Structure 1
Amino acid sequence: MELVSSTPLLVEARARGYAVVAFNIHTLEMLQAVVEAAETARSPLILQTTVGTVHHLGAEYIAAAAKVAASQATVPIALHLDHCQDFDLILKCMRAGYTSVMMDASMYPFAENVRRTKAVVDVAQALNVNVEAELGKVGGVEDNIVVDEADALLADPAECAAFIEQTGVPTLAPAIGTAHGIYHGEPKIDFARLEQIARMVEVPLVLHGGSGIPTAQVQRCIALGMAKMNVATELKNAFSQAIRQFFIDHPSSLDPRQYMVPAKAGVKQLAREKMEICGCVNRV
């Protein structure tokens, strides 16, 4: 198979009441692990990279690895660029083979967010690339984007509907009280707001800050219209903690091929757990 646009994957997910998990990957081994998890789970999959990871590895290297994974997989795989504010980098990633991109202009006034998002949508539609946008501001840290709790703003339902009408964006991430990173205590998700947004908006909704949200809250979000859940911090932690433990147990080992085995296993296990929670197992 080839890499696919995430739009039809997410439209089907919302219609059928489950969510596709988007995993932020930073290494080849992480990519392989989540693909293996999706294969065994028979789940659609979204591979996701931050702007920082694109700068670290290169869009062409990432896309090439994702294309190989898709060619060998029997489940649909999309490749998404997360939280990008740079139009030129979005174009570069689309040219490299990304099938989904996020123009995050949520820090601008509504009209400017519309303008910047629509510019990306106009290009992406011709290339069959999904576009994601954000309304409100999700708190926490994502690469070099830092939103203090005091600055996090919840999305306005009426603005969400107007935004989609004016931009034609096919997926939307409304801020509903989640945050990037690991939560200190339970997140304060505004379910009533989410329910109102979902009534006014037909496009698939995206749950940012998926690491550490209690299962019952995740599933309630999905039941209310969230069709994609992003997982970044938990996956990175599982990978790194497995390597740390390997060196505690084998302090003299210096072979990456050895310590990457438990690292991949940790990522694969966590990925499968998230797929189970989101209800996307056996959907292919």
Structure 2
Amino acid sequence: MKVMKFAPMKEILKLAEEQKVAYGAFVTVSYETALAAIEAGSELNCPVIFITGTDCCDLMGGFEGTVETVKRAAANAQVPIALHLDHCRTYEECVQAIHAGYSSVMIDGSSLPFEENIALTKKVVDYAHTLGITVEGELGKLVGEEGNLVVKGPEGAQTDPQEAKEFVERTGVDCLAVSIGTQHGHYIAAPQLNIERLKAIQEVVEVPLVLHGGSGTPIDQVQESIRHGIRKINVATDVLTAVADSFEELKKQPGFKYNTAMFVNSKNAAKELIKGKMKDFRFEK
């Protein structure tokens, strides 16, 4: 029996760069949320990138359980699939994920001083690249909550273009997550992406750029960011909201019963949300 191997995220982002589009990176917390993205990508012939924080992995039995869950969902996939560890803050956990079978890791040292962020990121890059694993770094801080990290403050937390250039050159990362005005979680007010700052970063950085906090960001701003170098867009809150809302809507129907149909419905709701994002990020109608 052929053993499935996840695709290097670097190769998927290279394809995005060639086509001048972005690919969504979608959260998964279960078999059905993984299957939702696999089916969406297969129907649209679109590569799929999965993002899992360590909290997501806990729901699926750790790194090994997550790898097994996604591989089972992707058994019949007809498109490249990357499994990416999101917002990891330690070298040790990145190594554990790599050994478990992840094809990509993000080491998030954005809360550290600049030199410490470089040192930690380079350490992960030096190890991961010997095994052909993609590494994403982050510079700048997204406002909002991601796991245990809480960041407050507007433009002062955004990515500095010259620091981004130095960071990429000294660490060797394959892609860089930048802060240009998005945030994690639900928005209280609509964001205004700092496209001028993104343009300045794109001019001096030669690796694909990543936009975190893609949920709830107006699509016209998202597509403008894609025009200026964003090649991967993380979507978590919108996926989880689609799943939660599907349960609430189903409960309103006459004759509702608690049964497994709830989970089929939630998978389909996530699938439709993901298909919409995939089309938007590739400028499809």
Aligned twin of 2:42: 39
**2:5 corresponds to 1:2:** yes
Aligned twin of 2:52: 49
**2:135 corresponds to 1:131:** yes
Distance 2:29 2:283 in 1: 23
Aligned twin of 1:74: 78
Of 277, 281, 284, the residue aligned with 1:278 is: 281
Distance 1:148 1:218 in 2: 22
**Does the CA-based 8 Å contact 2:21-2:231 persist in structure 1?**
yes
**2:275 corresponds to 1:260:** no
**2:89 corresponds to 1:85:** yes
Of 164, 174, 177, the residue aligned with 2:178 is: 174
The 5-angstrom pairing of residues 63-212 of structure 1 reads 63-149=67-153, 153-212=157-216
Structure 2 unpaired stretches of 5+: none
Match of 2:231, SS state, is strand
Of 13, 16, 20, the residue aligned with 2:16 is: 13
Distance 2:50 2:194 in 1: 27
**2:31 corresponds to 1:59:** no
User: Aligned pair in 2 of structure 1 residues 280, 5: CA closer, same or farther (>3 Å)?
Assistant: farther
Letter in 1 for 2:79: V
**2:224 corresponds to 1:215:** no
Of 253, 263, 285, the residue aligned with 1:249 is: 253
Aligned twin of 1:27: 30
User: Aligned pair in 2 of structure 1 residues 215, 151: CA closer, same or farther (>3 Å)?
Assistant: closer
Match of 1:149, SS state, is coil
**2:243 corresponds to 1:239:** yes
Tell which deviates more after alignment, 112-121 or 185-194: 185-194
* Deviation (angstroms), 1:263: 0.4
Distance 1:116 1:250 in 2: 55
Distance 2:241 2:156 in 1: 24
Between the two proteins, the alignment pairs up a number of residues equal to 280
**Does the CA-based 8 Å contact 1:17-1:223 persist in structure 2?**
yes
* Deviation (angstroms), 1:252: 5.9
Identity %: 39
Letter in 2 for 1:56: L
* Deviation (angstroms), 1:12: 2.1
* Deviation (angstroms), 1:201: 0.8
* Deviation (angstroms), 1:261: 1.5
Letter in 2 for 1:194: L
**Does the CA-based 8 Å contact 1:139-1:147 persist in structure 2?**
yes
Structure 1 unpaired stretches of 5+: none
Of 233, 241, 250, the residue aligned with 1:229 is: 233
Letter in 1 for 2:274: A
Relative contact order: is structure 1 or structure 2 higher (C-alpha 8 Å, sep ≥ 6)? Answer: 1
User: Aligned pair in 2 of structure 1 residues 252, 265: CA closer, same or farther (>3 Å)?
Assistant: closer
